[in-house]
A and B are shown apart, each in its own frame.
Chain A
Amino acid sequence: MNEPLLEVQDLQVRIGRGPRAVRAVDGVSFVLHRGETFALLGESGCGKSMTALSIMRLLPRPAGRIVGGSVRLDGQDLLDLPERDMRQVRGGRIAMIFQEPMTSLNPVLTVGQQIAEVLALHKGLRGRAAESRVRELLDAVGIPDSARRMKEYPHQLSGGMKQRVMIAMALAGEPELLIADEPTTALDVTIQAQVLELLQSLQARYHMALLLITHDLGVVAGMADRLAVMYAGQLVEQATRADFFREPLHPYGRKLFEALPEMDKRGRPLTVIPGTVPPLDRPFTGCPFAPRCDYRMARCEAEPPPLHRIDGREVRCHLYGGEVHVPPAPERTAPDRPRARRRSDARSPETPLLEVRGLKVHFPIRRGLLRRTVGHVHAVDGVDLRIGQGQTLALVGESGCGKTTAGKAILQLLRPTAGSVRFDGTELTRLRGEALRRRRREFQIIFQDPYSSMNPRMMIRDIVEEGMRAQGIGRTARERHARARDLLLRVGLREEHLDRYPHEFSGGQRQRICIARALAVEPRLIVCDEPTSALDVSVQAQILNLLSELQRDFGLAYLFITHNLSVVGYLADRVAVMYLGRLVEEGPVAGVLEAPLHPYTEALISAVPRIDPEQRREIIRLEGDLPSPTRPPSGCHFHPRCPKAQPICARSYPEQRELRPGHWVKCHVAG
């Protein structure tokens, strides 16, 4: 373990040319030993992917270039190697897997061909020998029926399978170092758990070093031996996992922890990191984090902090430069029990604002000359929901489970196939035309993608006023302008933003504008469809805080559609869990998250990476992928993947049972 495998020294990467070139990586140094897992942790745009690509010398051409430093593999500087020798390293000694398994495989070559290519190049294996090795590799990454799968094309595989193929391809060269760039970010949480576990076991088996690039503290906690935190192109802190999770030294690292939504933080605002990441197209005169830092001193603006070494850790911060008093890290242990906040968590409300019964949305599959309907996609297949005034119901599920479709159908943006949606006593499914249009001011929606949810050709003023105009709110233009201004201030933007266009704003700011647009018509219910999943953790905290403030001030009810269970714990009163078009469990948030009844909910919760590194919990591993909603499995839809399945589960769909007050489940086995 003494000789490092990889040694990166003072790496400098620029994107673009001239004086405004972006300093994507600005003096990064770290070492990585054989068999070790080292995590690079940071938010989007911090330069962590560029660091990884530099090691492979695969920076985007021609914009990106390495302008300084060294990358030594076993003492040999890779930056000095001729391209020809570097190709021997790529895929041979160092392999890499990427974030997007969907687009990282070549669509016109079979899986087998793509793996065999590496074998031919680095191992000289061809023909039958290569074929049997491909099968071994596919078996090793847990792809069943490898003989058949190797002849398939990428589009015939699910996302999780594709990432397994990518891993098999990386293993084919028997690398000493595997670089994994956000390997599970595009995957559902249960699939993520499978892939992370696979990476860990393969690493142990082949004694590889693993460089893990991620934004997810939970993934780091479960995987890394050591880690570095990256901010604005620099490493601001390096430590072992245990040290870092016990007490992060750099103020940025601390903030990241505090910004995480968790059930423990319910009822009080999350810590946010004010402001945004600084532009990287000029050298910093001081600490890049200084403008956003609570411990800012005069020195921080004036001179860049040096790297301080403290007990085997490294931190780049003036706080640790001598006699200055170091404030203790805020307490992260001793979680408060979730306190009862605004109103009782435990029971369904007596008079619901929204009551959904038997909601179904089936999309016909048409084939043939006469466009006959040959089947249906059962996107939503009988969903019952109730939300009270001022309450938050979280609708949780993995991608493709139908939760977004359900949200749209409730708002009548998509007409349900069957079922009833009563809003404050009115049956929405029967409303048509003008009556429905008038009523729309009472229920609004916020989307996941803040980029496509605003018309790029409209100014912010017009975007915020659109609903007022449609609903006749504000008699004069002046009144509407005044209201638009107030709303913008309310969501934390400034008056001068009114006359700008959407492309001038960051993701978080756009999401604020979308919230203002929805608020403009004074709704009582807002469907929030994954409103923070496109945002970084620090920005996510800002939006979550805003949403809960608005709920308090305006008595809003939220239907919060998400796949992120930690957000649920922080924000929701009740939780409904959806699987393949149906709800499998619903109950108060504490009950569902801490003592789940349905095996699927249990697996889902266990699969969420925890940031508590001491507490190693058993992950309930789900086999296989989400089945197709065209032909759902017989009986309980979940039984083919369920670790507790009984014979009866394959025969009949379980009835709804209320096992605890206000907490029910659809499962033969539970309880």
Chain B
Amino acid sequence: MPLSVFIVVLWMLAGLLAPLLPLHPEAIHLDRILAPPWVAGGLGYDDLGRPLLDRLLMGTATSFHVAALTVSISAATGLLLGSLGGYLGGRFDAVLVRLIDVFLAFPGILLAIALAATLGPGIDNVVLALSVVGWVGFARLARAQALSVREREHVLAARALGTHGPWLLFRHVIPLVLTPVLVEATFGVASVIIAEAGLSFLGLGVQPPAASWGSMIREGTRYLLVAPHLVLVPGLALFLVVLAVNLAGDWLRDRLDVRLREPRP
């Protein structure tokens, strides 16, 4: 298993377990305000004297929570709607295509910002805002894939055998649409992690007392010169996790491709 997958698993575990750990992200140590790691130990302390390590772990929980929920919701919605549209065609598909076009007419992050601003801060609203933006990409991918799968001869052969419609969809179309959607979902995790942190950076994401890597960076920028570790620590965590997820996505794609690729004469 490559290192990237290891980091991703570590991130997931930290995200799941952080709420259960005896962390004190709000504990204030007035004697350690802005203290860097090499002076105060751990990962250092912020402008209020709170321990960065504890806050970072709570931020991990936030990013994992948002990424897991958002990607599951948007990938599932996109997969179902896109496959149905591509497979059925007709009016349903026409409406779906229009809807996708309208959503794609917004640059993704802008729509998320607008939605987050509309819905107000809070972790559930972040998930909602990012899912509303996120499903479109999956739907478009699934639809394109379903359109090409529909033309494959095994679908025609199954129809010729008298196979029922739902069976056709769930046995012949969706399994073949699933692979690229799965790979895309991995990359989706990376972009959702960045998007959540970005919204929090703009002050539109999770609110105190919940911690987010994005809001930690935002708060840290004020002390950039005197205490750069406030920006470096959460930023590095964010960067490493996103990098690992992207690498894991490449790895997954290569692996799945091998299975999909069929020997041709």
Q: Which residues of A contact B (CB under 8 A)?
A: 44-45, 408, 411, 413, 437-441, 443-445, 447, 449, 451-458, 466-467, 470-471, 502-503, 507, 514, 517-518, 521, 534
Q: Whole-angstrom distance between the alpha carbons of A443 and B262 in the complex?
A: 29
Between-chain CB contacts (< 8 Å), 6 pairs: A413-B160, A445-B157, A451-B262, A455-B172, A471-B161, A517-B161
Chain B residues contacting A437 (CB-CB under 8 Å) are 162, 164
Asked if B265 is at the interface (CB within 8 A of a chain A CB), the reply is yes
Tell me the dominant secondary structure on chain A's binding face.
mixed
Chain A residues contacting B264 (CB-CB under 8 Å) are 451
**A445: which of B160, B164, B262 is its contact (CB, 8 Å)?**
B160
Judging by beta carbons under 8 Å apart, are A455 and B171 in contact? yes
Q: Whole-angstrom distance between the alpha carbons of A503 and B152 in the complex?
A: 15
Asked if B154 is at the interface (CB within 8 A of a chain A CB), the reply is yes
Interface string of B31-74 (1 = CB under 8 A from A): 00000000000000000000000000000000000000000000
Asked if B27 is at the interface (CB within 8 A of a chain A CB), the reply is no
Least Cβ–Cβ distance between B236 and chain A, in angstroms: 38
Least Cβ–Cβ distance between B204 and chain A, in angstroms: 40
Interface string of B214-239 (1 = CB under 8 A from A): 00000000000000000000000000
Chain A residues contacting B167 (CB-CB under 8 Å) are 470
Least Cβ–Cβ distance between A597 and chain B, in angstroms: 34
Judging by beta carbons under 8 Å apart, are B163 and A470 in contact? yes
Asked if B20 is at the interface (CB within 8 A of a chain A CB), the reply is no
Instruction: Say yes or no: A517-B262 contact (C-beta < 8 A), given A437-B162, A470-B163, A471-B162.
Output: no
Chain A residues contacting B172 (CB-CB under 8 Å) are 455
Interface string of B153-186 (1 = CB under 8 A from A): 1101111111110010001100110000000000
Judging by beta carbons under 8 Å apart, are A440 and B265 in contact? no
Closest residue to A438 on the B side, CB-wise?
B162
Instruction: Say yes or no: A440-B161 contact (C-beta < 8 A), given A452-B152, A455-B171, A455-B176.
Output: yes
Least Cβ–Cβ distance between B201 and chain A, in angstroms: 42
Asked if B105 is at the interface (CB within 8 A of a chain A CB), the reply is no
Q: Whole-angstrom distance between the alpha carbons of A439 and B161 in the complex?
A: 9
Q: Whole-angstrom distance between the alpha carbons of A503 and B263 in the complex?
A: 7
Least Cβ–Cβ distance between A459 and chain B, in angstroms: 12
Instruction: Say yes or no: A466-B262 contact (C-beta < 8 A), given A449-B153, A455-B176, A456-B176.
Output: no
Instruction: Say yes or no: A470-B164 contact (C-beta < 8 A), given A452-B152, A455-B154.
Output: yes
Judging by beta carbons under 8 Å apart, are B153 and A467 in contact? no
Asked if B102 is at the interface (CB within 8 A of a chain A CB), the reply is no
Q: Whole-angstrom distance between the alpha carbons of A47 and B157 in the complex?
A: 34
Closest residue to A472 on the B side, CB-wise?
B162
Q: Which of B154, B171, B265 has the most CB of A within 10 A?
A: B154
Q: A451-B262, A467-B161 are in contact. List 20 more A-B contacts (CB 8 A).
A: A44-B265, A437-B162, A437-B164, A438-B162, A440-B160, A441-B162, A444-B160, A445-B157, A452-B153, A452-B154, A453-B153, A453-B157, A454-B154, A454-B157, A457-B175, A458-B171, A466-B163, A467-B163, A470-B161, A503-B263
Q: Which of A439, A455, A467, A507 has the most CB of B within 10 A?
A: A455
Q: Whole-angstrom distance between the alpha carbons of A482 and B171 in the complex?
A: 23
Closest residue to B157 on the A side, CB-wise?
A453
Judging by beta carbons under 8 Å apart, are B163 and A445 in contact? no
Q: Whole-angstrom distance between the alpha carbons of A618 and B41 in the complex?
A: 95
Chain B residues contacting A458 (CB-CB under 8 Å) are 171
Q: Whole-angstrom distance between the alpha carbons of A121 and B153 in the complex?
A: 46
Judging by beta carbons under 8 Å apart, are A507 and B265 in contact? yes
Q: Whole-angstrom distance between the alpha carbons of A438 and B152 in the complex?
A: 23
Chain B residues contacting A502 (CB-CB under 8 Å) are 262
Closest residue to A447 on the B side, CB-wise?
B153
Interface string of B134-164 (1 = CB under 8 A from A): 0000000000000000001110111111111
Chain B residues contacting A467 (CB-CB under 8 Å) are 161-163
Chain B residues contacting A514 (CB-CB under 8 Å) are 157
Chain B residues contacting A44 (CB-CB under 8 Å) are 265
Asked if B1 is at the interface (CB within 8 A of a chain A CB), the reply is no
Q: Whole-angstrom distance between the alpha carbons of A379 and B158 in the complex?
A: 24
Closest residue to A450 on the B side, CB-wise?
B153
Closest residue to A463 on the B side, CB-wise?
B154
Asked if B260 is at the interface (CB within 8 A of a chain A CB), the reply is yes
Least Cβ–Cβ distance between A528 and chain B, in angstroms: 13
Q: Whole-angstrom distance between the alpha carbons of A503 and B262 in the complex?
A: 6
Chain B residues contacting A521 (CB-CB under 8 Å) are 161-162
Instruction: Say yes or no: A517-B157 contact (C-beta < 8 A), given A451-B264, A455-B171, A457-B175.
Output: yes
Least Cβ–Cβ distance between B259 and chain A, in angstroms: 8
B244-265 residues at the A interface, CB under 8 angstroms? 260, 262-265
Q: Whole-angstrom distance between the alpha carbons of A454 and B262 in the complex?
A: 11
Chain A residues contacting B158 (CB-CB under 8 Å) are 455, 466, 470
Judging by beta carbons under 8 Å apart, are A456 and B260 in contact? yes
**B156: which of A439, A445, A534 is its contact (CB, 8 Å)?**
A445
**B159: which of A413, A443, A447, A457 is its contact (CB, 8 Å)?**
A413
Q: Whole-angstrom distance between the alpha carbons of A467 and B158 in the complex?
A: 7
Question: Which 7 residue pairs spanning A and B have beta carbons closest together?
Answer: A467-B161, A440-B162, A453-B153, A437-B162, A447-B153, A457-B175, A455-B154
Chain B residues contacting A517 (CB-CB under 8 Å) are 157, 161
Judging by beta carbons under 8 Å apart, are A45 and B154 in contact? no
Closest residue to B172 on the A side, CB-wise?
A455
Q: Whole-angstrom distance between the alpha carbons of A437 and B163 in the complex?
A: 8
**A457: which of B153, B161, B176 is its contact (CB, 8 Å)?**
B176
Chain B residues contacting A456 (CB-CB under 8 Å) are 176, 260, 262
Chain A residues contacting B262 (CB-CB under 8 Å) are 451, 456, 502-503
Chain A residues contacting B154 (CB-CB under 8 Å) are 452-455
Judging by beta carbons under 8 Å apart, are B171 and A447 in contact? no
Closest residue to A536 on the B side, CB-wise?
B265
Chain B residues contacting A447 (CB-CB under 8 Å) are 153, 156-157
Q: Whole-angstrom distance between the alpha carbons of A512 and B160 in the complex?
A: 17
Closest residue to B260 on the A side, CB-wise?
A456
Q: Whole-angstrom distance between the alpha carbons of A409 and B154 in the complex?
A: 17
Least Cβ–Cβ distance between A402 and chain B, in angstroms: 17
Q: Whole-angstrom distance between the alpha carbons of A439 and B160 in the complex?
A: 10
Closest residue to B151 on the A side, CB-wise?
A452
Least Cβ–Cβ distance between A593 and chain B, in angstroms: 29
Q: Whole-angstrom distance between the alpha carbons of A471 and B160 in the complex?
A: 11
Instruction: Say yes or no: A45-B156 contact (C-beta < 8 A), given A438-B162, A455-B171, A467-B161.
Output: no
**A45: which of B161, B163, B265 is its contact (CB, 8 Å)?**
B265
Chain A residues contacting B175 (CB-CB under 8 Å) are 455, 457
Least Cβ–Cβ distance between B77 and chain A, in angstroms: 22
Chain B residues contacting A507 (CB-CB under 8 Å) are 265
Instruction: Say yes or no: A466-B156 contact (C-beta < 8 A), given A455-B172, A457-B175.
Output: no
**B160: which of A411, A455, A503 is its contact (CB, 8 Å)?**
A411
Least Cβ–Cβ distance between A2 and chain B, in angstroms: 40
Closest residue to A529 on the B side, CB-wise?
B153
Chain B residues contacting A438 (CB-CB under 8 Å) are 162
Judging by beta carbons under 8 Å apart, are B156 and A413 in contact? yes
